[in-house]
Chain A
Amino acid sequence: QIQLVQSGAAVKKPGASMRVSCKASGYKFSIYEISWVRQAPGQGLEWMGRIAVNTGKTDFAPKFQDRVTMTTDTASNTAYLELRSLRSDDTAFYYCARDDPGDPLDYWGQGTLVTVSS
């Protein structure tokens, strides 16, 4: 069955960087995209961007353009999200989801809570 399994919770200090991993299984990783979505505690969903696994081409929401990097490792079927210069309002659950042009986000990871606190 299709699964996306994310790395565990993390606590970061303001100004630091975070990295979340998302390991895919049960489908051909290279022919899809991965989107990243975040959700601050008690708040709604916010699309951060996506990466096409086979080309590495990325597409970021303008809000995150300057601070985000998305990469993939096809050898391990893993996608990575890096966010730099963390602030307290970056405290959120971060989700990866399988994506494809013209299709919705059909499979989601379990989420990774990143807390930014001094």
Chain B
Amino acid sequence: ENVLTQSPGTLSLSPGQRATLSCRASQSVKYSYLAWYQQKPGQAPRLLMFGASKRAAGTPDRFSGSGSGTDFTLTISRLEPEDFAVYYCQQYDSSPKTFGQGTKLEIK
């Protein structure tokens, strides 16, 4: 199984700052089939990015994704108050479709 490791576990930043979240896979993710999800307390996860760098419908353009192979990054250019949440990466290239353990983005 392709194990995804996210770092950092927790990221403490202030609104207006830039956030950089990392997702590293134990095996290469073919076709960049890597997605990012945002989850807020009491809510289901929401698709943010797919194909490593494509924004899902409704995702603001301050969110961007990059990477290929085994290393992927989600960047939020200028944090808004509503961006503080938990972020998960997921590979959908191979079964089982594994998730990373999550990065909690909290207000500093």
List the interface of chain A (C-beta within 8 A of B).
35, 37, 44-47, 49-50, 59, 61-62, 95, 102-106, 108-111
The 4 closest A-B pairs by CB, nearest first: A104-B35, A61-B96, A108-B44, A104-B50
Contacts of B72 in A (CB 8 A): none
Secondary structure of the B contact surface, majority rule: loop
B31/A102 in contact, CB under 8 A: yes
B90 touches A105 (CB 8 A): yes
Shortest C-beta distance, B75 to chain A (Å), equals: 18
User: A45 and B88: CB pair below 8 A?
Assistant: yes
28 A-B residue pairs with Cβ-Cβ distance under 8 Å, sorted by A, are: A35-B97, A37-B99, A44-B88, A44-B100, A44-B101, A44-B102, A45-B37, A45-B45, A45-B88, A45-B90, A47-B90, A47-B99, A49-B96, A50-B97, A61-B95, A61-B96, A102-B31, A102-B92, A103-B92, A104-B35, A104-B90, A105-B45, A105-B92, A106-B47, A108-B46, A109-B44, A110-B44, A111-B44
Q: Complex formed: what's the CA distance from A45 to B90 in Å?
A: 9
Minimum CB distance partner of B49 in chain A: A104
Query: Which residues of B approach A to under 8 Å, CB–CB?
Result: 1, 31, 33, 35, 37, 39, 44-47, 50, 56, 88, 90, 92, 95-102
Q: How far is the CB of B105 from chain A (nearest CB, A)?
A: 15
- Measured CA separation A76–B99 after assembly (Å): 30
Shortest beta-carbon distance, B8 to chain A, in Å? 15
The smallest beta-carbon distance between B84 and chain A, in angstroms, is 17
CB-defined contacts of A59 to chain B, threshold 8 Å = 95
Residues of B within 8 A of A47 (CB): 90, 96-99
Once the chains bind, are A44 and B99 in contact (CB under 8 Å)? yes
